[in-house]
Amino acid sequence: MKQGEKNKQMNVQKSCKQCGICCTKGGAALHIADRVLLQEGKIPRSDCITLRKGEFAWSPVNDMVEAIQSDIVKLRGTGGEWVCCYFDVLAKNCGIYKNRPVACRTLQCWQPEKSLAMIGKDLLSRQAIVQDEKFLLELIEKYERDLPLPDFSSLLSDLKQNPEETIRILEELMNQDLNFRNKQVQLSAKVAAEEMFLFGRPLFQLLQPFGLSVYQRGNRLCLKLI
């Protein structure tokens, strides 16, 4: 839609039409004010996913895909997509309407200023959510210390300049990442249920948008340029 038409539509709209489109564009980011929803079990951690600092994600502020500046804990999507897990697509209902996160309460698509002003501010971190659970807190810290994300901002140029070495390094990181997760998931059912919240998406899933496809050789994951 052209900007002029968008403005015209926004000028006409005065309230929520309950179309649910906003619920299909990526689960809401959680803010500090939402912590109580997790503490009271209104939103289980198994319904959350962490985008780690440095991952590439669409920025509504800059209207482009770019590396995020800090971790973002979000409601997970469904079916491998970014339709919020609480959104009933047929009924166009929110399954946790009374307990929906503050980002959902704030959103008014016809006048988005308040929502835009919230982006990147007062975000709820994984560490704050598990702060009273020493085992999980230490596990997150170990994961970030031992398996930090590669620098995605230079990945395309690294692949262009030195593809074989870059792929070799990424394959090593990708398999270390997977081995760590598999081990922790086998040790704890709680970690298994909350894997995406605790560690975010596995590295092999994050590499595919950079023109890399993943395949298996024996018990190792390998990469090739598409």
Contacting residues toward ligand SF4, per CB under 6 A: 16-23, 27-28, 75, 84, 86-87, 94, 96, 100, 104, 107-109
Q: Provide the minimum distance between the beta carbon of 16 and ligand SF4 in the complex, in angstroms, as a whole number.
A: 3
* Comparison of 21 and 33: residue with beta carbon closer to ligand SF4: 21
Strand pairing category for 212-217 and 220-225: antiparallel
Q: Provide the minimum distance between the beta carbon of 61 and ligand SF4 in the complex, in angstroms, as a whole number.
A: 18
Q: Which residues contact 175 (CB under 8 A, 6 or more apart)?
A: 220, 221
Question: What are 152's two structure tokens?
Answer: 């995605």
User: Closest Cα to residue 149, out of 212, 78, 68?
Assistant: 68
* Comparison of 24 and 59: residue with beta carbon closer to ligand SF4: 24
* Comparison of 29 and 170: residue with beta carbon closer to ligand SF4: 29
* Comparison of 23 and 140: residue with beta carbon closer to ligand SF4: 23
**What are 213's strand-pairing partners?**
224
Q: Cβ distance 79 to 107 under 8 Å?
A: no
Q: Provide the minimum distance between the beta carbon of 13 and ligand SF4 in the complex, in angstroms, as a whole number.
A: 7
* Comparison of 87 and 199: residue with beta carbon closer to ligand SF4: 87
Host H or E run for residue 220: strand 220-225
* Comparison of 84 and 129: residue with beta carbon closer to ligand SF4: 84
Q: Provide the minimum distance between the beta carbon of 131 and ligand SF4 in the complex, in angstroms, as a whole number.
A: 23
d(CA 132, CA 77): 27
Q: Provide the minimum distance between the beta carbon of 81 and ligand SF4 in the complex, in angstroms, as a whole number.
A: 13
Q: Cβ distance 147 to 177 under 8 Å?
A: yes
H helices of 99-225, in order, are 102-106, 113-118, 126-129, 134-146, 155-161, 163-187, 189-193, 195-199, 203-207
* Comparison of 17 and 168: residue with beta carbon closer to ligand SF4: 17
64-76 burial, b for 16+ CB within 10 Å, e for fewer?
eeeebeebbbbbb
d(CA 145, CA 6): 45
Q: Provide the minimum distance between the beta carbon of 40 and ligand SF4 in the complex, in angstroms, as a whole number.
A: 15
Q: Cβ distance 194 to 46 under 8 Å?
A: yes
Q: Provide the minimum distance between the beta carbon of 220 and ligand SF4 in the complex, in angstroms, as a whole number.
A: 37
